[in-house]
């Protein structure tokens, strides 16, 4: 079992590492960030006008672009950032395909665990306290997400490991994170939740197009901090090995 994760160090590093290597991060992430921002803004202005199949297609494109963004960010943190930044236009390789597979698989497990726990909780609470269930369903859903997020956190090292071409599996991730599941929940759950409040606080109902562009780019750029936190956690977990 690995030593306890230094959560404070990881969270601080998630902000400092991108800043220390800002030139490399800017060069390597400029293209995927610009493509993501363009897609999000296009979607924002046209989603209601597009047929359902086009929106589904745009969603798939978004996932693919996010994969390129995430893989590049992991490699910037875990490898030589200047070397990674030499390729300013990331391409799709087997690495990105494996990363996408693990990412989708981990989220499907999260959703499955969430609905299993939610179903059990709703039936148990609804049977005994029907009025409580009707008035506190939101809280029940939040509680149901905890074990699902714990499962996702235990499997999250699969992503940075795959980004640096390490061959791993579910058993490896589960053994690696033994004893650090709750600490990883802070990294992959609490930090993204906290950052998700940053850009919405700056939005206003009559925002100009320029403001929307700036806030969209800033919101996507915050993903780099969340991904960097997971990269640093992975590095701490594998340091002994």
**Where do the domains of the chain lie?**
7-238
Cβ proximity of 148 and 111 under 8 Å: yes
pLDDT at 36: 96
Task: Give 27's pLDDT tier (boundaries 50, 70, 90).
Answer: very high
pLDDT tens digits, 144-159: 899 999 999 999 999 9
> Does the pLDDT at position 137 exceed 70?
no
Distances 86 to 75, 80, 163, 170 between C-alpha atoms, Å = 12, 10, 17, 32
Q: Burial of 192 by CB count in 10 Å (0-12 exposed, 13-18 middle, 19+ buried)?
A: middle
Tell me the average pLDDT across 202-230: 88
Q: Average pLDDT for residues 118-146, to the nearest whole number?
A: 72
Question: Which residues, 6 or more positions from 190, have their beta carbon under 8 angstroms from its beta carbon?
Answer: none
* Range picked from 85-94, 130-139, 182-191 for highest mean pLDDT: 182-191
Residue written as token pair 């220390």 = 20
Could you count the other beta carbons within 10 Å of the beta carbon of residue 62?
Answer: 15
Q: Is residue 207 predicted with pLDDT exceeding 80?
A: no
* 3-class secondary structure, 53: helix
Q: What is the pLDDT of residues 176-192, one digit of tens each?
A: 999 999 999 999 999 99
| 225 neighbors 14 (Cβ within 8 angstroms) | yes
Query: Which among 120, 196, 93, 113 is positioned nearest to 155, based on CA atoms?
Result: 113
Range of lowest pLDDT (89-93, 107-111, 129-133, 235-239): 129-133
How far apart CA 210 and CA 196 sit, in angstroms, is 20
Residue 72 has pLDDT above 70, yes or no: yes
Reference 109, options 12, 13, 174, 29; nearest CA is 174
Residue 80 CA to residue 226 CA, distance in Å, equals 19
CB 235 within 8 A of CB 219: no
Contacts of 224 (CB under 8 A, 6+ apart): 18, 25, 29, 69, 73
C-alpha of 95 from chain center: 17
Q: Which is higher by pLDDT, 51 or 185?
A: 185
Q: What confidence category does residue 129 fall into, taking pLDDT thresholds of 50, 70 and 90?
A: low
pLDDT at 118: 86
């Amino acid at each position: 079992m690995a030593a306890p994760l230094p959560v404070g160090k990881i969270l601080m590093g998630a902000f400092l590492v991108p800043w220390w290597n800002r030139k490399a991060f800017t060069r390597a992430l400029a293209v995927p960030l610009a493509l993501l921002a363009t897609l999000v803004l296009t979607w924002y202005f046209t989603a209601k006008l597009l047929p359902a199949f086009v929106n589904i297609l745009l969603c798939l494109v978004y996932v693919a672009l996010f994969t390129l963004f995430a893989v590049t960010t992991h490699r910037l943190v875990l490898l030589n950032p200047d070397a990674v930044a030499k390729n300013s236009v990331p391409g799709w390789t087997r690495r990105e395909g494996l990363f996408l597979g693990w990412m989708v698989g981990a989220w499907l497990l999260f959703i499955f665990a969430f609905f299993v726990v939610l179903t059990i909780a709703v039936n148990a609470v609804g049977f005994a306290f029907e009025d409580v269930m009707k008035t506190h369903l939101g809280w029940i859903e939040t509680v149901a997400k905890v074990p699902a997020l714990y499962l996702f956190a235990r499997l999250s090292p699969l992503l940075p490991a795959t980004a640096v071409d390490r061959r791993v599996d579910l058993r490896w991730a589960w053994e690696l994170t033994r004893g650090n599941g709750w600490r990883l929940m802070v990294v992959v759950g609490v930090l993204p939740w906290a950052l998700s409040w940053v850009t919405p606080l700056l939005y206003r109902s009559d925002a100009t197009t320029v403001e929307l562009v700036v806030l969209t780019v800033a919101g996507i750029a915050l993903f780099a901090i969340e991904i960097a936190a997971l990269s640093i956690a992975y590095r701490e977990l594998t340091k002994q090995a």
